Amino acid sequence: MFAVLAYQSWPWYSTREGMKSETFEKNLRASLIYAAMGCICRPTNAVTWIIAASLLFLFSKNKHLISKNIFLVGIPAFFVMLVIDRIGYKEWCIPLINFYRFNLEKNLAVWFGESNMFYHIFITIPVLFTTMVPLVFYGIYLGSKTLKNKSAINSPLKNSAFGNCEPAIVALGTLVVYSFAGHKEYRFLFSLLPIGFTYAGVSLNTFYGPPDIFTHLNKLFRGHFVIYNPLITNLQGQQHYSFKKSIVIGGSVSNFGRGSYKKKKGRFSHLIPSKRTTILILALTNIPIGLFTNLLHARGVVDVMRYLRKNTANGKVTDIGFLMPCHSTPFYSHIHKPVPMWFLTCDPPQNKEDLISHYWEANEFDINPENFIKSNFVSRDSNLVTSISFTDEGSNVEITKPKLLKFYNDTAMGDDDRLMVEVYRKSRNLRYLPSHLVFYSSMLPRIHSILKFNDYIECANFYNTLFETDIRRKGNILVYCKN
Protein backbone atom coordinates (compact mmCIF):
# COMPACT_ATOMS: atom_id res chain seq x y z
CA MET A 1 0.00 0.00 0.00
CA PHE A 2 2.74 2.46 0.95
CA ALA A 3 4.59 1.65 -2.28
CA VAL A 4 1.50 2.48 -4.38
CA LEU A 5 1.02 5.81 -2.62
CA ALA A 6 4.72 6.65 -2.89
CA TYR A 7 4.86 5.80 -6.62
CA GLN A 8 1.75 7.89 -7.26
CA SER A 9 3.26 11.00 -5.67
CA TRP A 10 6.84 10.50 -6.85
CA PRO A 11 8.00 13.24 -9.28
CA TRP A 12 8.87 10.97 -12.21
CA TYR A 13 10.71 12.68 -15.03
CA SER A 14 7.71 12.59 -17.38
CA THR A 15 5.60 14.56 -14.89
CA ARG A 16 8.11 16.94 -13.29
CA GLU A 17 9.31 18.83 -16.37
CA GLY A 18 7.83 22.31 -16.14
CA MET A 19 6.30 21.59 -12.73
CA LYS A 20 6.28 24.50 -10.30
CA SER A 21 8.83 24.27 -7.50
CA GLU A 22 6.09 24.29 -4.83
CA THR A 23 4.24 21.42 -6.51
CA PHE A 24 7.47 19.48 -7.01
CA GLU A 25 8.38 19.78 -3.33
CA LYS A 26 4.86 18.89 -2.18
CA ASN A 27 4.76 15.73 -4.30
CA LEU A 28 8.31 14.75 -3.36
CA ARG A 29 7.72 15.15 0.36
CA ALA A 30 4.46 13.19 0.25
CA SER A 31 6.16 10.38 -1.64
CA LEU A 32 9.12 10.32 0.75
CA ILE A 33 6.77 10.06 3.73
CA TYR A 34 4.97 7.07 2.21
CA ALA A 35 8.30 5.51 1.20
CA ALA A 36 9.63 6.00 4.75
CA MET A 37 6.57 4.24 6.17
CA GLY A 38 7.18 1.34 3.82
CA CYS A 39 10.84 1.19 4.84
CA ILE A 40 9.93 1.18 8.54
CA CYS A 41 7.70 -1.84 7.89
CA ARG A 42 10.32 -3.52 5.68
CA PRO A 43 13.73 -1.80 5.68
CA THR A 44 14.89 -3.61 2.52
CA ASN A 45 12.37 -1.49 0.57
CA ALA A 46 15.03 1.20 0.83
CA VAL A 47 16.80 -0.40 -2.14
CA THR A 48 14.04 0.74 -4.50
CA TRP A 49 13.95 4.26 -3.13
CA ILE A 50 17.72 4.71 -3.12
CA ILE A 51 17.71 3.91 -6.85
CA ALA A 52 14.73 6.19 -7.53
CA ALA A 53 16.24 9.03 -5.49
CA SER A 54 19.60 8.63 -7.24
CA LEU A 55 17.97 9.01 -10.66
CA LEU A 56 15.94 11.96 -9.43
CA PHE A 57 19.01 13.67 -7.99
CA LEU A 58 21.07 12.97 -11.11
CA PHE A 59 18.62 14.39 -13.65
CA SER A 60 16.92 17.14 -11.65
CA LYS A 61 17.91 20.77 -11.35
CA ASN A 62 16.44 20.98 -7.82
CA LYS A 63 19.26 19.09 -6.10
CA HIS A 64 19.21 21.31 -3.01
CA LEU A 65 15.44 20.89 -2.67
CA ILE A 66 15.73 17.11 -3.03
CA SER A 67 18.51 16.84 -0.43
CA LYS A 68 16.61 19.04 2.02
CA ASN A 69 13.43 16.95 1.84
CA ILE A 70 15.29 13.65 2.08
CA PHE A 71 16.82 14.81 5.37
CA LEU A 72 13.57 16.39 6.62
CA VAL A 73 11.72 13.11 6.13
CA GLY A 74 14.52 10.57 6.60
CA ILE A 75 15.84 11.72 9.98
CA PRO A 76 12.42 11.77 11.76
CA ALA A 77 11.57 8.42 10.14
CA PHE A 78 14.79 6.94 11.51
CA PHE A 79 13.96 8.09 15.04
CA VAL A 80 10.40 6.78 14.72
CA MET A 81 11.89 3.41 13.77
CA LEU A 82 14.17 3.56 16.84
CA VAL A 83 11.19 4.20 19.13
CA ILE A 84 9.17 1.36 17.58
CA ASP A 85 12.11 -1.02 18.03
CA ARG A 86 12.57 0.21 21.61
CA ILE A 87 8.95 -0.68 22.37
CA GLY A 88 9.24 -4.06 20.67
CA TYR A 89 12.65 -5.18 21.96
CA LYS A 90 12.47 -3.45 25.36
CA GLU A 91 15.87 -1.87 24.72
CA TRP A 92 17.50 0.66 22.42
CA CYS A 93 18.81 -1.11 19.35
CA ILE A 94 19.27 -0.80 15.59
CA PRO A 95 18.21 -4.13 14.02
CA LEU A 96 19.56 -2.95 10.68
CA ILE A 97 23.10 -3.46 12.00
CA ASN A 98 22.42 -7.12 12.80
CA PHE A 99 20.60 -7.46 9.48
CA TYR A 100 23.69 -6.21 7.65
CA ARG A 101 26.04 -8.50 9.57
CA PHE A 102 23.84 -11.58 9.18
CA ASN A 103 22.73 -11.16 5.55
CA LEU A 104 25.59 -9.30 3.90
CA GLU A 105 28.76 -9.55 5.95
CA LYS A 106 28.36 -13.25 6.87
CA ASN A 107 25.77 -14.22 4.22
CA LEU A 108 24.07 -16.56 6.70
CA ALA A 109 20.65 -16.10 5.10
CA VAL A 110 21.54 -19.01 2.82
CA TRP A 111 20.67 -21.17 5.85
CA PHE A 112 17.03 -20.67 4.86
CA GLY A 113 17.71 -21.63 1.23
CA GLU A 114 19.96 -20.47 -1.59
CA SER A 115 18.94 -19.71 -5.19
CA ASN A 116 20.96 -18.83 -8.26
CA MET A 117 21.37 -15.36 -9.74
CA PHE A 118 18.50 -15.75 -12.21
CA TYR A 119 15.83 -16.75 -9.68
CA HIS A 120 14.01 -13.41 -9.84
CA ILE A 121 14.01 -13.43 -13.65
CA PHE A 122 12.69 -16.96 -14.16
CA ILE A 123 10.63 -17.41 -10.97
CA THR A 124 9.71 -14.06 -9.41
CA ILE A 125 8.54 -12.21 -12.53
CA PRO A 126 6.29 -15.06 -13.80
CA VAL A 127 4.84 -15.60 -10.31
CA LEU A 128 4.09 -11.91 -9.76
CA PHE A 129 2.65 -11.08 -13.18
CA THR A 130 1.53 -14.51 -14.52
CA THR A 131 -0.06 -14.06 -17.97
CA MET A 132 0.48 -10.30 -17.84
CA VAL A 133 4.23 -10.73 -18.35
CA PRO A 134 3.99 -10.07 -22.15
CA LEU A 135 1.89 -6.96 -21.49
CA VAL A 136 4.43 -5.66 -18.97
CA PHE A 137 7.35 -6.04 -21.36
CA TYR A 138 5.44 -4.61 -24.30
CA GLY A 139 4.51 -1.61 -22.18
CA ILE A 140 8.19 -1.09 -21.40
CA TYR A 141 8.94 -1.38 -25.12
CA LEU A 142 6.38 1.31 -25.89
CA GLY A 143 7.99 3.54 -23.29
CA SER A 144 11.43 2.96 -24.77
CA LYS A 145 10.41 4.31 -28.17
CA THR A 146 11.83 7.78 -28.89
CA LEU A 147 9.37 10.44 -27.84
CA LYS A 148 8.19 13.03 -30.29
CA ASN A 149 6.78 15.50 -27.85
CA LYS A 150 7.49 18.98 -29.16
CA SER A 151 6.52 20.55 -25.83
CA ALA A 152 9.62 18.96 -24.27
CA ILE A 153 11.97 20.58 -26.78
CA ASN A 154 13.73 22.58 -24.08
CA SER A 155 14.31 19.54 -21.91
CA PRO A 156 17.90 18.28 -21.49
CA LEU A 157 16.48 14.84 -22.25
CA LYS A 158 14.38 15.83 -25.25
CA ASN A 159 13.54 13.07 -27.70
CA SER A 160 14.64 10.58 -25.05
CA ALA A 161 12.76 7.53 -23.79
CA PHE A 162 14.12 8.00 -20.27
CA GLY A 163 10.96 9.70 -19.03
CA ASN A 164 8.72 6.78 -19.90
CA CYS A 165 11.22 4.12 -18.83
CA GLU A 166 12.27 5.63 -15.50
CA PRO A 167 9.92 3.41 -13.44
CA ALA A 168 11.16 0.35 -15.35
CA ILE A 169 14.78 1.37 -14.69
CA VAL A 170 14.01 1.62 -10.97
CA ALA A 171 12.35 -1.81 -11.02
CA LEU A 172 15.22 -3.35 -12.98
CA GLY A 173 17.81 -1.87 -10.62
CA THR A 174 15.93 -3.26 -7.62
CA LEU A 175 15.74 -6.70 -9.24
CA VAL A 176 19.48 -6.68 -9.98
CA VAL A 177 20.41 -5.71 -6.42
CA TYR A 178 18.17 -8.41 -4.94
CA SER A 179 19.66 -10.96 -7.35
CA PHE A 180 23.02 -10.69 -5.57
CA ALA A 181 21.49 -11.92 -2.30
CA GLY A 182 21.98 -15.63 -1.64
CA HIS A 183 18.53 -16.21 -0.15
CA LYS A 184 15.73 -15.21 -2.53
CA GLU A 185 11.94 -15.23 -2.29
CA TYR A 186 9.50 -13.73 -4.77
CA ARG A 187 7.67 -11.91 -1.97
CA PHE A 188 10.74 -9.72 -1.51
CA LEU A 189 9.80 -7.91 -4.75
CA PHE A 190 6.10 -7.35 -4.11
CA SER A 191 6.77 -3.60 -4.11
CA LEU A 192 7.45 -3.77 -7.88
CA LEU A 193 3.91 -4.93 -8.68
CA PRO A 194 2.46 -1.40 -9.15
CA ILE A 195 5.17 -0.52 -11.68
CA GLY A 196 4.60 -3.70 -13.67
CA PHE A 197 0.83 -3.26 -13.67
CA THR A 198 1.24 0.30 -14.94
CA TYR A 199 3.16 -0.89 -17.99
CA ALA A 200 0.63 -3.69 -18.54
CA GLY A 201 -2.09 -1.04 -18.51
CA VAL A 202 -0.21 0.97 -21.12
CA SER A 203 -0.15 -2.08 -23.40
CA LEU A 204 -3.87 -2.73 -22.97
CA ASN A 205 -4.69 0.93 -23.58
CA THR A 206 -2.58 0.90 -26.75
CA PHE A 207 -4.32 -2.23 -28.06
CA TYR A 208 -7.91 -1.51 -27.11
CA GLY A 209 -8.27 2.00 -25.74
CA PRO A 210 -9.53 2.76 -22.21
CA PRO A 211 -12.00 0.48 -20.39
CA ASP A 212 -15.69 1.30 -20.73
CA ILE A 213 -15.84 2.25 -17.07
CA PHE A 214 -13.86 5.41 -17.90
CA THR A 215 -16.66 6.43 -20.28
CA HIS A 216 -19.21 6.12 -17.48
CA LEU A 217 -16.94 8.08 -15.13
CA ASN A 218 -16.55 10.68 -17.85
CA LYS A 219 -20.33 11.12 -17.99
CA LEU A 220 -20.50 11.25 -14.20
CA PHE A 221 -17.91 14.05 -14.10
CA ARG A 222 -19.53 15.90 -17.03
CA GLY A 223 -16.88 15.25 -19.61
CA HIS A 224 -13.73 15.49 -17.52
CA PHE A 225 -12.01 12.86 -15.42
CA VAL A 226 -8.72 13.07 -13.57
CA ILE A 227 -6.09 10.82 -15.17
CA TYR A 228 -2.67 10.38 -13.66
CA ASN A 229 -0.01 8.14 -15.11
CA PRO A 230 3.78 8.43 -14.80
CA LEU A 231 4.07 7.29 -18.40
CA ILE A 232 1.97 10.18 -19.73
CA THR A 233 4.30 12.87 -21.07
CA ASN A 234 3.10 16.38 -20.30
CA LEU A 235 4.37 19.55 -18.74
CA GLN A 236 1.94 19.97 -15.90
CA GLY A 237 1.93 16.56 -14.22
CA GLN A 238 -1.63 15.77 -13.20
CA GLN A 239 -4.19 17.15 -15.67
CA HIS A 240 -7.91 17.09 -16.32
CA TYR A 241 -8.32 15.41 -19.70
CA SER A 242 -11.46 15.39 -21.77
CA PHE A 243 -12.36 12.00 -23.15
CA LYS A 244 -12.63 13.68 -26.53
CA LYS A 245 -8.95 14.55 -26.51
CA SER A 246 -5.97 12.45 -27.41
CA ILE A 247 -2.96 11.93 -25.16
CA VAL A 248 0.48 10.51 -25.78
CA ILE A 249 1.24 7.26 -23.97
CA GLY A 250 4.56 5.61 -24.63
CA GLY A 251 4.92 7.38 -27.94
CA SER A 252 1.60 6.14 -29.32
CA VAL A 253 -1.56 8.21 -29.52
CA SER A 254 -4.67 6.82 -27.84
CA ASN A 255 -8.08 8.45 -28.30
CA PHE A 256 -10.34 8.43 -25.27
CA GLY A 257 -13.61 8.73 -27.15
CA ARG A 258 -15.77 5.64 -26.85
CA GLY A 259 -16.43 3.99 -30.17
CA SER A 260 -13.96 6.18 -32.03
CA TYR A 261 -10.85 4.30 -30.94
CA LYS A 262 -9.06 2.60 -33.80
CA LYS A 263 -6.50 -0.11 -33.21
CA LYS A 264 -3.12 0.93 -34.53
CA LYS A 265 -2.22 -1.18 -37.56
CA GLY A 266 1.20 -2.75 -37.76
CA ARG A 267 3.12 -5.74 -38.99
CA PHE A 268 1.87 -7.97 -36.17
CA SER A 269 -1.58 -6.44 -35.65
CA HIS A 270 -3.28 -9.63 -36.80
CA LEU A 271 -1.67 -11.51 -33.90
CA ILE A 272 -3.36 -9.32 -31.27
CA PRO A 273 -6.48 -11.09 -29.92
CA SER A 274 -9.77 -9.27 -29.52
CA LYS A 275 -10.45 -7.25 -26.40
CA ARG A 276 -12.97 -9.81 -25.14
CA THR A 277 -10.53 -12.68 -25.71
CA THR A 278 -7.75 -10.86 -23.86
CA ILE A 279 -10.00 -10.10 -20.89
CA LEU A 280 -11.13 -13.72 -20.84
CA ILE A 281 -7.54 -15.01 -20.89
CA LEU A 282 -6.45 -12.66 -18.11
CA ALA A 283 -9.51 -13.50 -16.01
CA LEU A 284 -9.24 -17.28 -16.44
CA THR A 285 -5.53 -17.32 -15.65
CA ASN A 286 -5.53 -14.91 -12.69
CA ILE A 287 -8.88 -15.05 -10.88
CA PRO A 288 -8.80 -18.84 -10.26
CA ILE A 289 -5.19 -18.59 -9.04
CA GLY A 290 -6.15 -15.72 -6.74
CA LEU A 291 -9.16 -17.57 -5.35
CA PHE A 292 -7.16 -20.77 -4.85
CA THR A 293 -4.21 -19.14 -3.08
CA ASN A 294 -6.44 -16.98 -0.87
CA LEU A 295 -9.23 -19.42 -0.03
CA LEU A 296 -7.88 -22.96 -0.44
CA HIS A 297 -4.10 -23.14 -0.46
CA ALA A 298 -2.49 -23.54 2.99
CA ARG A 299 -5.70 -22.59 4.78
CA GLY A 300 -5.38 -25.34 7.39
CA VAL A 301 -2.42 -23.67 9.11
CA VAL A 302 -4.67 -20.66 9.77
CA ASP A 303 -7.88 -22.57 10.53
CA VAL A 304 -6.09 -24.57 13.22
CA MET A 305 -5.08 -21.36 14.99
CA ARG A 306 -8.71 -20.23 15.08
CA TYR A 307 -9.63 -23.57 16.63
CA LEU A 308 -6.87 -23.29 19.24
CA ARG A 309 -7.80 -19.69 20.06
CA LYS A 310 -11.42 -20.69 20.65
CA ASN A 311 -10.48 -23.63 22.86
CA THR A 312 -7.89 -21.57 24.72
CA ALA A 313 -10.58 -19.06 25.64
CA ASN A 314 -12.80 -21.75 27.20
CA GLY A 315 -9.90 -23.31 29.12
CA LYS A 316 -9.57 -26.55 27.15
CA VAL A 317 -6.03 -25.75 25.98
CA THR A 318 -3.27 -25.29 28.56
CA ASP A 319 -0.19 -25.47 26.32
CA ILE A 320 0.50 -26.19 22.65
CA GLY A 321 3.37 -27.82 20.78
CA PHE A 322 3.92 -27.66 17.01
CA LEU A 323 5.71 -30.73 15.61
CA MET A 324 6.13 -29.11 12.21
CA PRO A 325 8.82 -27.39 10.15
CA CYS A 326 9.35 -24.10 11.97
CA HIS A 327 7.14 -21.14 11.08
CA SER A 328 4.54 -23.38 9.43
CA THR A 329 1.69 -21.63 11.26
CA PRO A 330 1.01 -18.17 12.68
CA PHE A 331 1.82 -17.90 16.36
CA TYR A 332 0.60 -15.45 19.01
CA SER A 333 -0.68 -13.12 16.29
CA HIS A 334 -3.73 -15.42 16.06
CA ILE A 335 -4.02 -16.80 19.60
CA HIS A 336 -4.14 -13.50 21.54
CA LYS A 337 -3.94 -15.42 24.83
CA PRO A 338 -0.96 -15.93 27.19
CA VAL A 339 -0.97 -19.69 26.65
CA PRO A 340 2.48 -21.38 26.55
CA MET A 341 3.38 -22.45 23.00
CA TRP A 342 6.51 -23.74 21.30
CA PHE A 343 7.62 -24.96 17.90
CA LEU A 344 10.63 -26.97 16.80
CA THR A 345 13.54 -24.55 16.57
CA CYS A 346 15.42 -23.79 13.38
CA ASP A 347 17.65 -20.97 14.60
CA PRO A 348 20.41 -20.29 12.06
CA PRO A 349 24.09 -20.56 13.00
CA GLN A 350 26.02 -17.47 14.03
CA ASN A 351 29.09 -18.32 11.96
CA LYS A 352 29.38 -19.52 8.38
CA GLU A 353 31.77 -22.29 9.45
CA ASP A 354 28.88 -23.92 11.35
CA LEU A 355 26.44 -24.08 8.43
CA ILE A 356 26.90 -27.84 7.95
CA SER A 357 27.34 -28.99 11.56
CA HIS A 358 24.77 -26.64 13.17
CA TYR A 359 22.13 -28.36 15.34
CA TRP A 360 18.44 -27.56 14.95
CA GLU A 361 15.47 -29.34 16.48
CA ALA A 362 13.32 -29.50 13.34
CA ASN A 363 16.05 -31.46 11.57
CA GLU A 364 16.60 -33.92 14.43
CA PHE A 365 12.85 -34.48 14.72
CA ASP A 366 12.51 -35.17 10.99
CA ILE A 367 15.33 -37.75 11.08
CA ASN A 368 13.71 -39.85 13.83
CA PRO A 369 10.50 -38.29 15.18
CA GLU A 370 9.57 -41.12 17.56
CA ASN A 371 12.98 -41.16 19.21
CA PHE A 372 12.96 -37.35 19.41
CA ILE A 373 9.70 -37.38 21.38
CA LYS A 374 10.96 -40.14 23.71
CA SER A 375 14.23 -38.29 24.37
CA ASN A 376 13.00 -34.72 24.79
CA PHE A 377 9.55 -34.90 26.39
CA VAL A 378 8.52 -35.94 29.87
CA SER A 379 5.12 -36.45 31.47
CA ARG A 380 3.99 -33.89 34.04
CA ASP A 381 3.49 -36.60 36.67
CA SER A 382 7.03 -37.94 36.28
CA ASN A 383 8.95 -38.43 39.55
CA LEU A 384 12.25 -37.83 37.75
CA VAL A 385 11.84 -34.07 37.34
CA THR A 386 10.83 -30.94 39.13
CA SER A 387 9.26 -27.83 37.58
CA ILE A 388 10.82 -24.44 36.98
CA SER A 389 8.88 -21.39 35.78
CA PHE A 390 10.06 -18.28 33.99
CA THR A 391 8.69 -15.54 31.76
CA ASP A 392 9.60 -15.88 28.11
CA GLU A 393 11.17 -12.62 26.90
CA GLY A 394 9.83 -12.89 23.36
CA SER A 395 6.16 -13.54 24.17
CA ASN A 396 5.96 -12.30 27.79
CA VAL A 397 4.21 -15.59 28.64
CA GLU A 398 4.98 -17.65 31.75
CA ILE A 399 6.55 -20.97 30.75
CA THR A 400 6.91 -24.08 32.92
CA LYS A 401 9.66 -26.56 32.03
CA PRO A 402 10.94 -29.77 33.62
CA LYS A 403 14.30 -30.02 35.33
CA LEU A 404 15.96 -33.30 36.27
CA LEU A 405 16.29 -33.90 39.99
CA LYS A 406 19.85 -33.88 41.33
CA PHE A 407 19.25 -36.80 43.67
CA TYR A 408 17.08 -39.87 43.27
CA ASN A 409 15.95 -42.65 45.57
CA ASP A 410 17.86 -45.48 43.92
CA THR A 411 15.96 -48.13 45.82
CA ALA A 412 12.64 -46.85 44.39
CA MET A 413 13.92 -46.51 40.83
CA GLY A 414 13.49 -49.29 38.32
CA ASP A 415 15.73 -50.04 35.37
CA ASP A 416 13.45 -48.11 33.01
CA ASP A 417 13.68 -44.98 35.19
CA ARG A 418 17.47 -45.18 35.32
CA LEU A 419 17.57 -45.52 31.54
CA MET A 420 15.26 -42.52 31.04
CA VAL A 421 17.36 -40.38 33.39
CA GLU A 422 20.39 -40.99 31.17
CA VAL A 423 18.33 -40.21 28.06
CA TYR A 424 16.93 -36.98 29.50
CA ARG A 425 20.39 -35.82 30.55
CA LYS A 426 21.42 -35.80 26.88
CA SER A 427 18.41 -33.69 25.87
CA ARG A 428 19.24 -30.19 24.65
CA ASN A 429 15.75 -28.87 25.41
CA LEU A 430 13.66 -30.98 27.77
CA ARG A 431 9.93 -30.15 27.69
CA TYR A 432 6.70 -31.33 29.25
CA LEU A 433 4.26 -33.13 26.97
CA PRO A 434 1.71 -30.41 26.09
CA SER A 435 -2.07 -30.69 26.25
CA HIS A 436 -2.24 -30.25 22.45
CA LEU A 437 0.11 -31.27 19.64
CA VAL A 438 -0.21 -29.92 16.08
CA PHE A 439 1.41 -31.58 13.06
CA TYR A 440 0.93 -32.50 9.39
CA SER A 441 -0.93 -35.73 8.65
CA SER A 442 2.05 -36.97 6.62
CA MET A 443 3.89 -37.30 9.95
CA LEU A 444 1.20 -39.41 11.64
CA PRO A 445 2.43 -42.87 10.49
CA ARG A 446 5.85 -42.11 11.98
CA ILE A 447 4.63 -40.99 15.42
CA HIS A 448 1.28 -42.76 15.84
CA SER A 449 2.59 -45.40 18.25
CA ILE A 450 4.36 -42.92 20.55
CA LEU A 451 1.27 -40.68 20.61
CA LYS A 452 -0.91 -43.64 21.55
CA PHE A 453 1.59 -44.66 24.25
CA ASN A 454 1.37 -41.15 25.77
CA ASP A 455 -2.46 -41.22 25.65
CA TYR A 456 -3.00 -38.71 22.82
CA ILE A 457 -6.11 -38.86 20.64
CA GLU A 458 -7.13 -36.91 17.54
CA CYS A 459 -9.42 -34.00 18.37
CA ALA A 460 -9.36 -31.94 15.15
CA ASN A 461 -8.49 -32.33 11.47
CA PHE A 462 -8.19 -29.40 9.05
CA TYR A 463 -7.88 -29.48 5.27
CA ASN A 464 -4.73 -27.63 4.20
CA THR A 465 -4.08 -27.71 0.44
CA LEU A 466 -4.48 -29.66 -2.79
CA PHE A 467 -0.75 -30.07 -3.38
CA GLU A 468 2.53 -29.34 -1.63
CA THR A 469 6.07 -29.69 -2.98
CA ASP A 470 7.64 -29.93 0.49
CA ILE A 471 7.20 -33.53 1.66
CA ARG A 472 7.37 -32.39 5.30
CA ARG A 473 4.24 -30.25 4.82
CA LYS A 474 2.02 -32.70 2.95
CA GLY A 475 -1.49 -33.58 4.09
CA ASN A 476 -3.99 -32.04 6.47
CA ILE A 477 -3.32 -30.33 9.79
CA LEU A 478 -3.99 -32.62 12.76
CA VAL A 479 -4.53 -31.65 16.38
CA TYR A 480 -3.95 -34.35 19.00
CA CYS A 481 -5.12 -33.79 22.57
CA LYS A 482 -3.88 -35.50 25.71
CA ASN A 483 -6.74 -37.70 26.87
- Are 133 and 12 found together in one domain? yes
Q: Let me know if residue 141 belongs to a domain.
A: yes
Average pLDDT over residues 106-132: 94
Write down the pLDDT at residue 235: 36
Average pLDDT over residues 213-225: 57
- Are 325 and 459 found together in one domain? yes
> 3-class DSSP state for residue 299?
coil
Q: Let me know if residue 425 belongs to a domain.
A: no
Total number of domains constituting the chain: 2
- Are 175 and 61 found together in one domain? yes
Of the chain, the end-to-end C-alpha distance in Å amounts to: 47
Write down the pLDDT at residue 246: 34
Contact 474/459 with Cβ under 8 angstroms?
no
Domain boundary, last residue among 206, 233, 261: 206
Closest CA to 52 of 157, 211, 169: 169
- Are 47 and 170 found together in one domain? yes
Q: Let me know if residue 248 belongs to a domain.
A: no
- Are 175 and 316 found together in one domain? no
Q: Let me know if residue 280 belongs to a domain.
A: no
Write down the pLDDT at residue 215: 62
Average pLDDT over residues 349-367: 91
For the stretch 409-457, pLDDT in tens is: 665 677 888 899 999 999 999 999 999 999 999 999 999 999 999 999 9
- Are 24 and 169 found together in one domain? yes
Q: Let me know if residue 279 belongs to a domain.
A: no
Average pLDDT over residues 111-133: 94
- Are 200 and 309 found together in one domain? no
Write down the pLDDT at residue 219: 59
β pairing state of 398-404 and 385-391: antiparallel
Q: Is the pLDDT of residue 241 over 80?
A: no
Domain boundary, last residue among 162, 178, 206: 206
Which phi and psi angles does 147 have, rounded to 5°? -75, 150
Indicate yes or no: pTM above 0.85: no
- Are 201 and 310 found together in one domain? no
Pairwise CA distance, residues 482 & 456, whole Å: 4
Q: Give every CB contact of residue 357 below 8 A, 6+ residues apart in sequence.
A: none
For the stretch 365-405, pLDDT in tens is: 999 999 999 999 999 999 899 999 999 988 889 999 999 98
For the stretch 27-57, pLDDT in tens is: 999 999 999 999 999 999 999 999 999 999 9
Residue 470: give the domain boundaries.
Answer: 300-351+358-376+431-482
Pairwise CA distance, residues 336 & 130, whole Å: 37
Average pLDDT over residues 472-478: 96
Write down the pLDDT at residue 162: 74
Domain boundary, last residue among 206, 239, 264: 206
- Are 8 and 147 found together in one domain? yes
- Are 320 and 201 found together in one domain? no
Q: Let me know if residue 24 belongs to a domain.
A: yes
Q: Let me know if residue 254 belongs to a domain.
A: no
Q: Give every CB contact of residue 350 below 8 A, 6+ residues apart in sequence.
A: 108
Contact 449/370 with Cβ under 8 angstroms?
yes
- Are 312 and 174 found together in one domain? no
DSSP E strand stretches across 238-315 = 239-242, 246-249, 252-255
Pairwise CA distance, residues 64 & 125, whole Å: 36
Pairwise CA distance, residues 269 & 207, whole Å: 9
- Are 21 and 155 found together in one domain? yes
Write down the pLDDT at residue 220: 63
Q: Let me know if residue 197 belongs to a domain.
A: yes
> 161 pLDDT band (50/70/90 cuts)?
low
